[in-house]
Amino acid sequence: MKKIFEFDPLKSFVQLPILWVVVSLITIISSVVFISIIVNTDLIWSFDANGFNLFLSYFKVPLSILALIIPIVALLAANHRSEQTREQIRISNSQNSFSNHYKHIEEFEKYLASHLHVLSVVNIRKAQRGIFPNTINGDFSISDAVKNDFDNECYNLMSIINQFSVGHKGSKKDTIVEIELSLRNMERNFCLNFIGDRSGSVFEHNGIKFILRNDDLQYYFESVRSRIRELAITLQFDQDFLFSDNITKLVEMDISVIDKASINSTSSGSFALFESA
């Protein structure tokens, strides 16, 4: 029943069921009145001028009913044109959104290529879709979930790094492994991969491999800072994205306070990079 009253913009006007329903209904009503007049009126058929005048006089009501077809059909046609116009606008907007979506991917790829140095993109489409999930619908902002998750990850990372000032849960290597796992999780969420400087020594602890140049903790934390900075820069493709306090503390770490002692040294290697975490 609902389909009868639909103005399908993909159909021509004469293909609309409602047109023929309305025309048929008016014609039937007019015909019933027409026949009723013929049956109940003593008519004398005459084809001269007086006969035609009398015809118009006697059948004024059914002819008036039949004449309603013209304005009603005009209204239906106008409504159909309106639906067609709306559909054309919808299609145009959809095409624009689709085009803008792929343009966004292209520009995002160029942006990362020029701004990332220690991180590389694993899959640009997946990265773009994860950070900007609604670009296909015309929304080019970062999802709140991505911003909140990243901020929480940064807070957790600060808590791990803070073990160098309040004491390690295990060894320094245990803490480094925690830092590395946290960073890798953030990078994986953005479909990024750490490429960095591969000239250092490879350390393996609890199944996790990481590189330290000259076994230097200060160099490692310089790498940590660079990786966080580039993760944050990735989100800055959205010009409305602002660094939270947690992100700012990490990208502005003063690594000069870090003891350059070897990761394998027995010294505590205590230093405080943050007032609180």
Top pLDDT among 125 and 2 is at: 125
pLDDT at 172 over 70: yes
136, 175 Cβ separation under 8 angstroms: no
The Cα–Cα gap between 64 and 155 comes to: 80
- Res. 43 pLDDT band, cuts 50 70 90: confident
Q: Taking Cα atoms as reference points, which of 195, 214, 188 lies closest to residue 203? A: 214
- Burial pattern 84-122, b for ≥16 Cβ within 10 A else e, equals beeeeeeeeeeeeeeeebeebbeebeeebeeebeebbbe
Give the tokens for residue 102.
């792929």
Average of per-residue pLDDT across 162-191: 82
129-161 pLDDT per residue, tens = 999 999 888 889 998 999 999 999 999 999 888
Looking at every residue in the chain, the average pLDDT score rounds to 84
Using one digit for the tens of pLDDT, what is the confidence trace for 63-92? 999 999 999 999 999 998 888 888 888 888
DSSP-based three-state secondary structure for 216: strand
Least confident window among 135-149, 195-209, 228-242, 260-274: 260-274
Q: β-strands 192-194, 201-205: how paired?
A: unpaired
The secondary structure of residue 259, as a DSSP letter, is: -
CA-wise closest residue to 69 among 12, 22, 15: 22
Q: Which of 63, 78, 74 is nearest to 29 (CA)?
A: 63
Max avg pLDDT among 7-16, 38-47, 128-137, 192-201 = 128-137
With bands split at pLDDT 50, 70 and 90, how would you rate the model's confidence at 223?
Answer: confident
Map out the domains of the chain as residue ranges: 2-95, 116-257
178/164 Cα distance (integer angstroms): 12
Are residues 161 and 182 in contact, defined by beta-carbon separation less than 8 angstroms? no
**Tokens representing 272?**
């405080």
More confident residue, 267 or 208: 208
The model's pTM? 0.67
